[in-house]
Structures are given as C-alpha cells and as structure tokens.
C-alpha cells in the first residue's frame, strides 16, 4: 500500500468511526481518533495476520490494552475482512458482540480488554510463549497514556525486560489527556521516556499521526536485541476534527447533528484535498 493510499485510509477510517459512534450514540471518540493512525499502519503495513491466518499459532498478535478505543479497532478489522462492516450497525446495541470494549466474540480480537493495565501482562505472556516455542511471531500492544498510572503495567514491563522479550512492541498513545483532564495534572507521567528506559525498554518517540514515520519506526522492531521495544507515539486526542482536538470533553463525547455534519465535512474536505 502506498503512503498516499494509507493517508486516504486514515481519513476514511475517521469518517466511518464517527459514523458508527453517531449511530450508536456512544463511543470513545477522542481516543479512537488519536490511535486510529497507529492501527492503520499496524494492520496495513506491519502485522502478519489476516482473517484466514487468525487461528494460526504463528500469526502476529495485536492486543489493544486501551480497550475503550474499540471503534478504531472495529473499523480497521472490518476493513481487513475479519467481519462485514455492516455488523457495526449493532455497535453498543442490546446483545451485540460489538460492545464498548473488545471481546473475543469478535473475530480478530485476541483478548477481552477494557479494564486498564491488563493488556501488557497478557502480551508479555504471549511473547514469552513465542520465545519458548522459538516462534517468529511478534506481539504489538497499544496502551493509553492515562492507563500508565496502573501499577500493573510496570510489573509487566519489568518482566518483559527480564525475559528479554524483543518480540514485544509496546506502543503508547501519548495524547496527554485522560477522562478528567491532562495526564500531568492527574498523576504526572513525565519524564516518561526515561522511566520506560529505566524499566528496561528500548524507547523511541514518533509523531503518531505521521504514517510514514510510524511505518519507519514500527518496521525497525526490535530496536535492540534482547529488549522490548517501546514507541511513544505523540498524538492528539480528537485528531482530525478541529473542535475535538485536545479537548477532554471528547473523551467519550458524541457529536450532535450539527457537530457531526461539521466533522464529516472537515474530513471530506481533507479527502478532496489529498485526492482520492
């Protein structure tokens, strides 16, 4: 897939995830918009997994620890044929498999997540099994920055370093916001890169919306032999919709009709600009 096609996908994914959030009247809008470019690059450029190989023990794994940004995951999985996109019309609905946090009922989802601070320990287990079996698969996991206050993450990072899990890549969606406000006003994370390094990670930072740069950095995993790779993806919560960007109100805000029209218009204008 060319960079140009990838950028088109990035806008199309936003158009769709807003559509289903609007249809459901619920969703984690801001965080999905901040991480959808990461998912775009992972599924279109990096991960070796398809609906056909999803049961293959040698498949690459993606585990989304920040389970609340589930719309971004559903849209990308649907785009890759894990299930028909039309099924997302039931998102958040009574009895739907497409709940507000991912579960294994949905093809393509490796693990039920949603409670924060869980995805990394699970990913460490999967990566450890890969090492034991001398399998070539890699494990990518996406963590929110707010969830790094959960101490379990740091237990898991210590284990990842201890077991030299260079088949594990931890991506942090560093959008600086959580439900209540700025991460540094809640329980400060900085200096984050130094903390992650001190816990044994090989840390790189990248613009989490620059698809070319994301591709480049994620293609280089592992960054160092014998160490887990950590990518701090600098992102913008609500990215791509002017009035949603950097505003904690959109953590799980749902646009009203006018806002929805404006948001879709902004995205369509961008799509026209880059040319489809």
Partner 1 sequence: MSFTPGTELGRANQEVFAETLLTLAKEDKDILAVTSDSRGSGKLMSYAAALPEQLIEVGIAEQNLVGVAAGLASAGKIVFAVSPASFLTARALEQIKNDVCYSDQAVKLVGISAGVSYGALGSTHHATHDIAVLRAIHNITIVVPADNLETAEAVKTAAKMTHPVYLRFGKRPMPDLHLSGTPFEIGKALRIRDGSDIAFIAAGEAVHPALKAAEELDKSGYSTRVISMHTVKPLDAEAVIRAARECRAVVTVEEHHTSGGLGEACASTLMEANVQVPFKIAGIPDEYAMTGSQVEIFRHYGLTASGLARTATALLEDQ
- List residues near partner 1 by CB under 8 A: 57, 103-104, 110-115, 117-118, 120-130, 132-133, 151-152, 155-156, 158-159, 162
Nearer to partner 1, 64 or 215 (CB): 64
| Cα(185)–Cα(207) distance, integer angstroms | 23
User: Rg of the Cα trace of the chain?
Assistant: 18
| Cα(272)–Cα(269) distance, integer angstroms | 5
Question: Count of alpha carbons within 13 Å of 31, Cβ hemisphere only?
Answer: 29
Output the 3-class SS for the chain: CCHHHHHHHHHHHHHHHHHHHHHHCCCCHHHHHHHHHHHHHHHHHHCCCCCCCCCCCCCCEEEECCCCCHHHHHHHHHHCCCCCHHHHHHCCCCCCCCCCCCCCCCCCCCCCCCCCCCHHHHHHHHHHHHHHCCCCCCEEEEEECHHHHCCHHHHHHHHHHHCCCCCEEEEEEECCECCCCEHHHHHCCCCHHHHHHHCCCEEEEEECCCHHHHHHHHHCCCCCCCCCEEEEEECCCCCCCCCCCCCHHHCCCCCCHHHHHHHHHHHHHHHHHHCC
Nearer to partner 1, 165 or 172 (CB): 165
Identify the residue whose tokens are 């790779």.
229
Min separation Cβ 130 and partner 1, Å: 7
Nearer to partner 1, 51 or 58 (CB): 58
Min separation Cβ 111 and partner 1, Å: 5
Min separation Cβ 265 and partner 1, Å: 39
Min separation Cβ 227 and partner 1, Å: 18
Min separation Cβ 184 and partner 1, Å: 25
Nearer to partner 1, 110 or 173 (CB): 110
Min separation Cβ 200 and partner 1, Å: 13
Nearer to partner 1, 11 or 139 (CB): 139
Min separation Cβ 8 and partner 1, Å: 34
Nearer to partner 1, 75 or 126 (CB): 126
Under 8 Å between Cβ of 53 and 91: no
Min separation Cβ 67 and partner 1, Å: 10
Nearer to partner 1, 118 or 174 (CB): 118
Nearer to partner 1, 44 or 229 (CB): 229
């Amino acid at each position: 897939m060319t960079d140009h096609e990838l950028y088109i996908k990035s806008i199309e994914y936003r158009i769709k995830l807003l559509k289903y959030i609007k249809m459901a009247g619920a969703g984690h809008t801001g965080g999905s918009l901040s991480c959808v470019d990461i998912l775009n690059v992972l599924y279109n450029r990096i991960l070796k997994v398809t609906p056909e190989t999803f049961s293959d023990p040698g498949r690459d794994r993606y585990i989304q620890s920040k389970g609340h940004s589930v719309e971004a995951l559903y849209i990308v999985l649907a785009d890759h044929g894990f299930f028909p996109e039309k099924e997302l019309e039931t998102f958040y609905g009574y009895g739907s498999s497409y709940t507000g946090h991912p579960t294994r009922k949905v093809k393509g989802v490796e693990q039920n997540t949603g409670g924060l601070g869980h995805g990394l320990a699970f990913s460490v287990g999967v990566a450890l099994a890969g090492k034991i079996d001398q399998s070539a698969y890699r494990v990518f996991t996406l963590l929110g920055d707010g969830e790094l206050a959960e101490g379990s993450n740091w237990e898991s990072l210590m284990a990842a370093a201890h077991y030299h899990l260079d088949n594990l890549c931890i991506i942090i969606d560093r959008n600086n916001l959580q439900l209540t406000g700025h991460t540094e006003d809640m329980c400060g994370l900085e200096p984050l890169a130094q903390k992650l390094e001190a816990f044994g990670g090989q840390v790189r930072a990248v613009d989490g919306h620059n698809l070319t740069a994301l591709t480049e950095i994620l293609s280089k995993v592992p960054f160092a032999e014998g160490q887990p790779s950590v990518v701090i993806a600098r992102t913008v919560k609500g990215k791509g919709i002017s009035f949603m960007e950097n505003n904690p109100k959109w953590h799980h805000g749902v646009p009203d009709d006018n806002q929805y029209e404006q948001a879709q218009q902004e995205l369509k204008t961008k799509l026209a600009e880059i040319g489809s």
